[in-house]
Chain A
Amino acid sequence: MELNNQYWKGIEEAEGQPEFVQTKGNEFHEALPLEDVLNATDLDLSSNRRDFLKFFGFSVSAVALAACQKVPVKYAIPYVVKPQGVTPGNANYYASTCLGCNTGCGVLVKTREGRPIKMDGNPLSPISKGALCATGQASILSLYDINRLANPLIDGKEEQDWTKLDTDIISKLGSIVSANGGIRIVTKTSNSPSFDKAVVAFKAKYPTAEVVTYDPISYSGILLANEQSFGKKVLPSYNFDKAEIIVSFGADFLGTWISPVEFTKQWVTNRNPKGGKMSKHYQFESTLSLTGTNADVRVPMRESKEGIYLISLYNELAKLAGTSQLPVKQNAELAGNAIKNSAKELFAAKGKSLVVSKSNNTNNQILVNGINIMLGNYGTTIDLNNYSNQSKFVEADFEKFVSELSSGSVKGVIFVGANPVYSYYNSAKLADGLKKAKLVVSTADQKDETSDLAGYVCPDNHYLESWGDAEPKAGVYSFTQPTISPVFNTRQAIESILLWAGTPAAAANAYEYIKSNWAADATIWNQSIHDGVYIKPSTIASVPSFASNLNEIATTLVANAPKGDEAELIVYQKVGVRDGAMANNPWLHEVPDPISKVCYDNYVSVSKTEADKKGLKQDDVINISVGGYSIKNVPVLIQPGQASGTYAIALGYGRTQSGKVGKDLGKNAYPFLKIANGTTSYNISGAVTIESTGDTYNLAQTQTHHTIEGRDYIREASLDEYNKNPYVRNEGKLDLVSLWEEYDYSNGHKWGMAIDLNACTGCGACVVSCHIENNVPVVGREEIRLRREMHWIRIDRYYSFYTPNEYLTKEDDINKENTDVYDNIRVVHAPVMCQHCSHAPCETVCPVLATTHSSEGLNQMTYNRCIGTKYCGNNCPYKVRRFNWFRYNDNDKFDYHFNNDLGKMVINPDVTVRTRGVMEKCSFCIQRIQAGKLSAKRENRKVQDGEVKTACMSACPSNAIVFGDMNDPNSEISKLYKNERSYHMLEEVGIKPSVSYMTKIRNVESNHKSTEHHS
């Protein structure tokens, strides 16, 4: 074992598998093909030389001739009438709302000369609070997706003329109503007041019409539980910022659960150990989720047994409170007495704690409600008065719709933003039912599984081309405004609904219609469109009265809990791809999964123990079947930290009708879902059958790319250690003697960055943001396998072994023969980008001075000088330099929207598009630095702290990245540099990086005897 600290990136590294050890030191994945060249059969050197001369002569003359070409004539075409407010060359920002999912994050859309090129969170939005997740960031590319429908379709044929469709649809709707046939508008959760009003108009014209809400991901367990407990069928607002103790049963609230950006912003407010206090976060879960990786205490738990653990927690709390316990024989307990410990702490923090659960089982959620009531969390950390509208889907309505469709009583269906034929578990039944309908309309903007079965496809605008309003949370209104004219011949769904409802065309115009709904107060409208949000004063949170019989529920839960230890399958959402609606967005596939670091595919993940038991190895291809559905030929991924006895597969893959990127990518796991007691179940227990096919499939996994050879990158300590000594693991600053002359940074700025490992959740928003800002190409699965991903910022995910009640377990103490050790792990996420070293090793080896140092501390990369020796990449200790192996933007082998004119519209005009054969790397967003300095100079003032933000910083939902001028003593970055937790990666090499990291502090007791730390 060559590791000299306790961190490892993958099992291959932890076990020291021979293949890994052999290749980890290589700069490039594949060996140079020297052998092939030397062993070539054609060893006739004279002929080789002649060929060489021929090629040489040809290239020289070709170059000579090419050089003689005249420069092509370029044109400068101004506006005929310049729109007010547009300054060519300067960006305009518009407040809008991201509709990448149902969360309703407020965004600021950056447009250049009329095309949106980047989105950041809107600081005024109470949901996004100025940040945006990876999915939201990436959704801008869906606007420029060449696979969008250019025209409406009638029976699959393009039709330019909307009036023809409207006439057809209106007459068919009319005939359906006159025959008393049902009409259903199937829509994803709508929280738009205007849309709801339009539907009312539609229902007035067609009395048999009804609205059915359908979301691919269901939170109906919470909705129904709240209905039973409190008489309110709503999702509550959670306030993680007010919680000192958080216990989450599988809820991935930092990654995918309900409103991740909002929750991350809240969660991180209590994660700063300064002042000696931070929140404590317990996570009990089966799969290793993003939230689990960030928890202080994470304990693997079988999801199917969640109910009995909830009962235990309830009983432990009841014991402490002295109230009656639920009737069970014995309280179940998790490893390390996690339930008992968390109960103690929850009880101590009554009213300032929060228990959440991922489970979609109504009974589980009622029990969670009961626990939170007992803890007095309603009115503080849980707010039912200012509820959330982010999901309203209840399965019963949709089940009824499907059976009505099958029975033939529903004759007309209009799908608005919903694609149930893909994501409904029984899509065959739905598809059959649709065949019986007289009229099927879809507003899909791309060909999808549902629109494929629709006679009429009336493509909706992308949300960046649309007007809209939304009320994601009670009293919080978020507005959508267009930032570009519709690219294709599309029409907003709300307009279609209104026109079919007989509204005159002028009034059905989306802008006029939505504005008229807000006509009561014109000032609200104008100000709200400017701000993007309008917030009504919130209602005061109160404690609702709780009315559920918990004893009864406990009995049911115990009765339904699995008796034995049979395997179960967990179906989950991945960060990024989420429910699969944006499957055709290559940015989402290119960004590695935060946990598994796999790109482009889904897989069955299993724990090491389970894999050993079943004889499975990483990359084995298996067939898996549960409950009558099976997926064939799916690769296996061995996931440390997963509860043994569980298998997991991600939703959102296996689209059969999508664009060129998303089609047939991965396997569809939706059909595994089942409805139990009226709600969708995301864990399927029952006989999980695994059948090995004998094949292997190479997953494009970046986890050990750019490996660090076990060097000391990460520092981590427990809260009590930190409280005793804030410099813990960070003592003894190195006083290195330098062979190099110091640079003089005193004339202007010295840019620096600080990354708080304690705040970083690893969500990947920064990766996508950087991708967009810096025109980073998408390289695709095959290139990633060859370690050729181009991301300028990567998030290293490190595992470390963990035994409950032990902090920092020393590797020597771990008996790796016992595979159980891989089930209990801890995780640290560390974003790594170019560290802009003062004595940069890359600079000294460049033979052509293509990478140089600036007086502001930046390590500059000059593409037009670079000749592609790759020496710099080789000499970089952080492995952050990326080589352009191809001309990705003009090569049809990289068919990821970057190779066509429409996809190129998203390119940031301030950043060069790199060509083949040059190195590139993080520039600290130098284009933003230059722009920030320039506006200060133009406005005759100094650069304000926080004025220049890098793309990663502006996207980060957890404020983990801070960028600024270290020459300004009052800047946040200067203060952070003086922070006790601040350290540099590889400080001992003496290269003086400009990026500082801050020790990760976990809120746990350390009862080990001062573990010797490598540094």
Chain B
Amino acid sequence: MLKYLNSRRNTAAFISVLAASTALVAQDSAAVSGEKPSLFYTDTTFVIVLLLCLLFMVIAYFLYRVKSHLDKIIDENTEGGRELTRYERVIKPWLRTLNPTVASLLIGTIFGLTAFVQAYKFGITEVGVQKGYSPTQPIAFSHKIHAGKLQMDCKYCHSTSDKSKQASIPSANTCMNCHKYTTLRDRYNGQVSPEISKIYKAIGWDPESNSYIPNYKQKPIEWVRIHNLPDLAYFNHSQHVVAGKVECQTCHGPIQEMDKVYQFSSLQMNWCINCHKEKGIDLANNKYYEDLHKRLKIEGKSVYTVADNGGLECGKCHY
């Protein structure tokens, strides 16, 4: 095993340099955006990993040298040489029979193809895809408590999800409808829950006197946006919630079980398209489709998917 390491050393060194530069770039972008959602992506992680890599390689190199020395000694001390390994007996002579050009080309092609496929897979599934993204929010708001335990309707807070493009994050005054009264003092030794008091701080509510502070300079709560569609894609919540009758959970996952929200779906185009291919339109219950419904009934077609309705056309989302 160690034998290969030598030949791969250059590759390893190259990879580590690449990793280091990637890390630096990553740090840059993290520094610019001023946010560290993942513990792994701290400033020093990559430097440590890099140093460890170098250390391990030095150790490996020394171990390899020791082993080859020992092999030599064994060779010299054993009559008729030491017992050859399987590699030395079978593979090495066979390799020598090969045309070096053809062999290296073949190996190169195999490696190249594998690398390309891997890179492609990486590019298509990882770059810019934030599935599982679960940043720390300014307030540790739990959907599990509100949507799950308390059974609040999603639309109570995300009140424009059936009216507009945006589902919209509720403004602080919506929170205050309940949190004027719900302070959880019983759990915090008579103090207002530190998370709830963040709402008060934003909107200017004095929980002691139960009143708004006059002339308070309000500060909005800066939530970290989890679901990021690129600007070139137009998505409308009300289209899906009202016209499409899609449950929130279809895209957002078991939100009622999430203490900390994470991105459930990949939000990639193939994810959109797959759903559009499968999801049928409820023609019967929307007068918009009246004529079409009548016609399809005559034609005897029962399933009419979004795709049938032109839902895969570029212009439906990109304009």
Contacts and interface: CB of A to CB of B under 8 A. Distances in A.
B287 A941 contact: yes
Given A78-B221, A855-B313, A937-B288, A73 B135 contact: yes
Interface in B150-183: 160, 162-166, 168-174
B74 to A, nearest CB: 46
Closest 10 CB pairs of A and B: A860-B315, A89-B165, A89-B164, A855-B310, A937-B243, A89-B166, A862-B314, A82-B171, A79-B171, A73-B35
A70 B318 CA distance: 24
Contact of A863 (B171, B220, B232, B288): B232
B190 to A, nearest CB: 27
B173 A82 contact: yes
Nearest to B34: A73
Contacts of B308: 747
Contact of A69 (B26, B168, B203): B26
Contacts of B310: 747-748, 854-856
B316 A80 contact: no
Interface in A852-911: 852, 854-856, 858, 860-865, 910-911
B169 A76 contact: yes
B91 to A, nearest CB: 35
Contact of B315 (A68, A75, A926, A934): A926
Nearest to B304: A747
Nearest to B21: A65
B29 A70 contact: yes
Contacts of B219: 80
Nearest to B36: A73
Interface of A: 65, 67-82, 87-90, 746-748, 850, 852, 854-856, 858, 860-865, 910-913, 923, 926-927, 930, 933-934, 936-938, 940-943
A80 B164 contact: no
B81 interface: no
Interface stretch (B59-67, B96-104, B141-149, B222-230): B222-230
B225 A80 contact: no
Contact of A942 (B225, B287, B316): B287
Nearest to A864: B232
Nearest to A853: B313
B228 A71 contact: yes
Contacts of B130: 71
B210 to A, nearest CB: 18
B22 interface: yes
Contacts of B230: 864
B319 A911 contact: yes
A943 B291 CA distance: 12
A911 B315 CA distance: 12
B169 A78 contact: yes
Contact of A912 (B135, B165, B286, B318): B318
Contacts of B171: 78-82
B32 interface: yes
B261 to A, nearest CB: 12
Is the contact region of chain A dominated by helix, strand, or loop, or is it mixed? loop
A737 B21 CA distance: 62
B242 to A, nearest CB: 5
Given A65-B21, A87-B160, A747-B308, A73 B172 contact: no
Nearest to B26: A70
Nearest to B212: A81
B56 to A, nearest CB: 23
B41 interface: yes
Given A75-B224, A76-B224, A77-B223, 9 more contacts: A68-B26, A76-B169, A90-B160, A748-B309, A864-B318, A913-B231, A923-B315, A934-B239, A938-B162
A938 B242 contact: yes
Among B162, B219, B232, B315: residue with most chain A CB under 10 A: B315
B85 interface: no
B39 interface: no
Nearest to B135: A73
Is the contact region of chain B dominated by helix, strand, or loop, or is it mixed? loop
Contacts of A943: 288
Nearest to A859: B315
Q: How large is the interface on B (under 10, 10 to 19, 20 to 34, 35 or more residues)?
A: 35 or more
B127 A90 contact: no
Contacts of B316: 854, 930
Contacts of B319: 860-861, 910-912, 923, 926-927, 930
Interface string B14-49: 000000011001100110111101000100000000
Nearest to A924: B315
Contact of B173 (A76, A80, A748): A80
Given A72-B33, A74-B228, A860 B173 contact: no
A865 B318 CA distance: 10
B290 interface: yes
Given A65-B25, A75-B225, A81 B173 contact: yes
Nearest to A68: B22
B221 to A, nearest CB: 7
Nearest to A914: B232
B123 interface: yes
Contacts of B172: 78-81
Contact of B41 (A70, A855, A913): A70
Contact of B168 (A78, A858, A862): A78
A912 B231 contact: yes
Contacts of B292: 747-748
Nearest to B308: A747
21 contacts: A75-B222, A75-B223, A76-B223, A76-B224, A77-B220, A77-B221, A79-B220, A80-B219, A82-B171, A82-B174, A88-B166, A89-B165, A90-B163, A748-B292, A865-B314, A910-B234, A912-B231, A930-B319, A933-B288, A937-B242, A940-B287
A938 B288 CA distance: 9
Interface in B194-210: 202-203
B73 to A, nearest CB: 46
A934 B316 CA distance: 12
Contacts of A68: 22, 25-26, 127
Nearest to B170: A78
B170 to A, nearest CB: 6
B252 to A, nearest CB: 14
A923 B313 CA distance: 14
B218 interface: yes
B223 A862 contact: no
A67 B123 contact: yes
Contacts of A927: 234, 319
A850 to B, nearest CB: 8
B108 interface: no
A791 B306 CA distance: 34
Among A861, A910, A937, A943: residue with most chain B CB under 10 A: A937
A862 B318 contact: yes
Contacts of A82: 171, 173-174
Contacts of B238: 934, 938
A926 B232 CA distance: 14
Contacts of A854: 310, 313-316
A70 B30 CA distance: 8
B163 A934 contact: no
B288 A88 contact: no
Contacts of B170: 78
B243 A934 contact: yes
A863 B318 contact: yes
Interface in B275-319: 286-288, 290, 292, 295, 308-310, 313-316, 318-319
Contacts of B237: 89
Contacts of B112: none
A80 B202 contact: yes
A316 B316 CA distance: 64
B236 interface: yes
Contact of B314 (A76, A89, A852, A910): A852
Contact of B164 (A87, A747, A861): A87
Contacts of A72: 29, 32-33
B128 interface: yes
B22 A65 contact: yes
